[in-house]
Amino acid sequence: MTLAAVTNTPWALLDDCKDALEAAVIEGARVFPQVVRTAAEWQPPESQYRGETPIAVLRQTATHQYDLPDDVYGGLLTVELSVVTQIAAGVDQHESVQECLRLIAAAKNAIESDPPDDAVAMGGPDIEFHHAIEWGDETPMDALEPPWVGFAIPLELSYKLDTSTSH
Protein backbone atom coordinates (compact mmCIF):
# COMPACT_ATOMS: atom_id res chain seq x y z
CA MET A 1 0.00 0.00 0.00
CA THR A 2 1.28 3.46 -0.85
CA LEU A 3 1.34 6.03 1.91
CA ALA A 4 -0.17 9.27 0.65
CA ALA A 5 0.71 12.50 2.40
CA VAL A 6 -1.79 15.25 1.62
CA THR A 7 -0.91 18.90 2.08
CA ASN A 8 -4.21 20.28 0.69
CA THR A 9 -2.68 23.61 -0.30
CA PRO A 10 -5.96 25.08 -1.61
CA TRP A 11 -7.60 24.53 1.79
CA ALA A 12 -4.58 26.10 3.53
CA LEU A 13 -4.93 29.16 1.26
CA LEU A 14 -8.64 29.47 2.10
CA ASP A 15 -7.89 29.00 5.78
CA ASP A 16 -5.28 31.79 5.71
CA CYS A 17 -7.75 34.12 3.97
CA LYS A 18 -10.38 33.26 6.57
CA ASP A 19 -7.93 34.03 9.38
CA ALA A 20 -7.04 37.38 7.80
CA LEU A 21 -10.70 38.35 7.42
CA GLU A 22 -11.51 37.30 10.99
CA ALA A 23 -8.62 39.43 12.27
CA ALA A 24 -9.65 42.56 10.33
CA VAL A 25 -10.41 45.43 12.70
CA ILE A 26 -11.52 49.02 12.11
CA GLU A 27 -11.54 51.40 15.06
CA GLY A 28 -11.31 48.50 17.51
CA ALA A 29 -14.26 46.54 16.09
CA ARG A 30 -14.10 43.36 14.04
CA VAL A 31 -15.07 44.10 10.45
CA PHE A 32 -16.46 40.61 9.77
CA PRO A 33 -17.96 38.94 12.85
CA GLN A 34 -18.73 35.96 10.61
CA VAL A 35 -16.43 34.44 8.00
CA VAL A 36 -17.59 31.31 6.19
CA ARG A 37 -15.71 28.92 3.85
CA THR A 38 -17.74 26.90 1.39
CA ALA A 39 -17.75 25.26 -2.01
CA ALA A 40 -21.55 25.41 -2.25
CA GLU A 41 -23.43 27.58 -4.69
CA TRP A 42 -24.84 30.79 -3.29
CA GLN A 43 -28.01 30.42 -1.26
CA PRO A 44 -30.65 33.01 -0.43
CA PRO A 45 -29.89 35.09 2.66
CA GLU A 46 -32.72 33.62 4.69
CA SER A 47 -30.95 30.25 4.59
CA GLN A 48 -27.28 31.27 4.56
CA TYR A 49 -26.98 34.62 6.30
CA ARG A 50 -27.87 34.79 9.96
CA GLY A 51 -26.56 36.43 13.04
CA GLU A 52 -24.22 39.34 13.34
CA THR A 53 -23.18 41.20 10.20
CA PRO A 54 -21.21 42.00 8.09
CA ILE A 55 -20.48 38.52 6.79
CA ALA A 56 -17.66 37.43 4.49
CA VAL A 57 -18.11 34.22 2.49
CA LEU A 58 -15.15 32.55 0.78
CA ARG A 59 -16.51 30.18 -1.87
CA GLN A 60 -14.01 27.97 -3.66
CA THR A 61 -15.07 27.83 -7.30
CA ALA A 62 -12.21 25.87 -8.92
CA THR A 63 -8.60 24.75 -8.75
CA HIS A 64 -6.31 24.49 -11.74
CA GLN A 65 -2.91 22.85 -12.09
CA TYR A 66 -0.29 23.44 -14.77
CA ASP A 67 3.19 22.12 -15.45
CA LEU A 68 6.24 24.26 -14.81
CA PRO A 69 9.88 23.49 -15.62
CA ASP A 70 11.92 21.12 -13.43
CA ASP A 71 8.98 18.88 -12.45
CA VAL A 72 7.35 21.65 -10.46
CA TYR A 73 3.63 22.36 -10.74
CA GLY A 74 1.72 25.57 -10.48
CA GLY A 75 -1.72 25.80 -8.97
CA LEU A 76 -4.42 28.42 -9.16
CA LEU A 77 -7.27 28.54 -6.67
CA THR A 78 -10.27 30.58 -7.78
CA VAL A 79 -12.52 31.94 -5.08
CA GLU A 80 -15.57 34.15 -4.93
CA LEU A 81 -15.41 36.43 -1.89
CA SER A 82 -18.81 37.80 -0.97
CA VAL A 83 -19.23 40.61 1.53
CA VAL A 84 -22.78 40.92 2.78
CA THR A 85 -24.44 43.10 5.37
CA GLN A 86 -27.83 44.33 6.46
CA ILE A 87 -28.74 47.96 5.93
CA ALA A 88 -31.22 49.59 8.27
CA ALA A 89 -34.57 50.66 6.87
CA GLY A 90 -34.56 54.22 5.61
CA VAL A 91 -30.88 54.26 4.63
CA ASP A 92 -30.56 55.56 1.09
CA GLN A 93 -28.84 53.65 -1.70
CA HIS A 94 -25.83 55.98 -1.66
CA GLU A 95 -25.07 55.07 1.96
CA SER A 96 -25.55 51.33 1.40
CA VAL A 97 -23.17 51.37 -1.59
CA GLN A 98 -20.67 53.38 0.47
CA GLU A 99 -20.85 50.76 3.25
CA CYS A 100 -20.34 47.91 0.77
CA LEU A 101 -17.33 49.64 -0.76
CA ARG A 102 -15.87 50.10 2.73
CA LEU A 103 -16.32 46.38 3.40
CA ILE A 104 -14.72 45.44 0.06
CA ALA A 105 -11.71 47.64 0.84
CA ALA A 106 -11.44 46.15 4.33
CA ALA A 107 -11.56 42.59 2.95
CA LYS A 108 -8.92 43.28 0.30
CA ASN A 109 -6.69 45.09 2.78
CA ALA A 110 -6.99 42.25 5.31
CA ILE A 111 -5.94 39.57 2.82
CA GLU A 112 -3.24 41.70 1.16
CA SER A 113 -1.71 42.74 4.50
CA ASP A 114 -1.65 39.15 5.80
CA PRO A 115 -1.34 37.08 2.60
CA PRO A 116 -1.70 33.31 2.62
CA ASP A 117 1.60 31.61 3.44
CA ASP A 118 1.54 29.40 0.33
CA ALA A 119 0.51 32.09 -2.18
CA VAL A 120 3.32 32.81 -4.66
CA ALA A 121 3.59 34.66 -7.96
CA MET A 122 4.37 32.36 -10.88
CA GLY A 123 4.84 32.36 -14.59
CA GLY A 124 7.35 31.74 -17.31
CA PRO A 125 8.09 31.98 -21.01
CA ASP A 126 5.31 29.54 -21.90
CA ILE A 127 3.13 30.06 -18.82
CA GLU A 128 0.78 32.97 -18.17
CA PHE A 129 2.04 35.06 -15.24
CA HIS A 130 -0.09 34.98 -12.09
CA HIS A 131 0.36 37.27 -9.11
CA ALA A 132 0.18 35.56 -5.72
CA ILE A 133 -3.13 37.38 -5.16
CA GLU A 134 -5.27 38.70 -8.01
CA TRP A 135 -8.59 40.49 -7.60
CA GLY A 136 -11.35 40.68 -10.18
CA ASP A 137 -14.04 43.32 -10.53
CA GLU A 138 -16.60 43.35 -7.76
CA THR A 139 -20.24 43.02 -8.78
CA PRO A 140 -23.42 43.72 -6.81
CA MET A 141 -25.31 40.69 -5.58
CA ASP A 142 -28.60 41.67 -7.19
CA ALA A 143 -30.46 38.58 -5.97
CA LEU A 144 -30.28 39.83 -2.37
CA GLU A 145 -33.45 41.32 -0.98
CA PRO A 146 -33.60 44.15 1.59
CA PRO A 147 -32.32 44.53 4.18
CA TRP A 148 -29.42 42.54 2.68
CA VAL A 149 -26.84 44.14 0.38
CA GLY A 150 -23.59 42.72 -0.85
CA PHE A 151 -20.94 42.40 -3.50
CA ALA A 152 -19.10 39.40 -4.93
CA ILE A 153 -15.39 39.77 -5.67
CA PRO A 154 -13.46 37.21 -7.75
CA LEU A 155 -10.14 36.25 -6.17
CA GLU A 156 -7.34 34.08 -7.55
CA LEU A 157 -4.55 32.67 -5.40
CA SER A 158 -1.49 31.23 -7.12
CA TYR A 159 0.60 28.52 -5.45
CA LYS A 160 3.36 26.02 -6.20
CA LEU A 161 3.50 22.25 -5.80
CA ASP A 162 7.09 20.99 -5.54
CA THR A 163 6.28 17.50 -6.86
CA SER A 164 3.48 15.63 -8.57
CA THR A 165 2.65 14.09 -5.19
CA SER A 166 2.57 17.26 -3.07
CA HIS A 167 -1.14 18.04 -3.44
Asked if residue 85 lies in contact with residue 54, where contact means CB atoms within 8 angstroms, the answer is yes
Residue 92's pLDDT is what? 78
Check residue 32 and report its DSSP letter.
Answer: -
Judge whether 53 lies within some domain: yes
Residue 20's pLDDT is what? 98
Judge whether 167 lies within some domain: no
Domain hosting residue 98, numbered range: 9-161
Residues of the chain scoring pLDDT < 70: 1-6, 42-50, 124, 163-167
Judge whether 122 lies within some domain: yes
Residue 5's pLDDT is what? 57
Return the number of other C-beta atoms located less than 10 Å from residue 47's C-beta. 7
Start-to-end Cα distance in the chain: 18
pTM given for the model: 0.88
Domains contained in the chain, number: 1
CATH code for the domain of 44: 3.30.2000.10
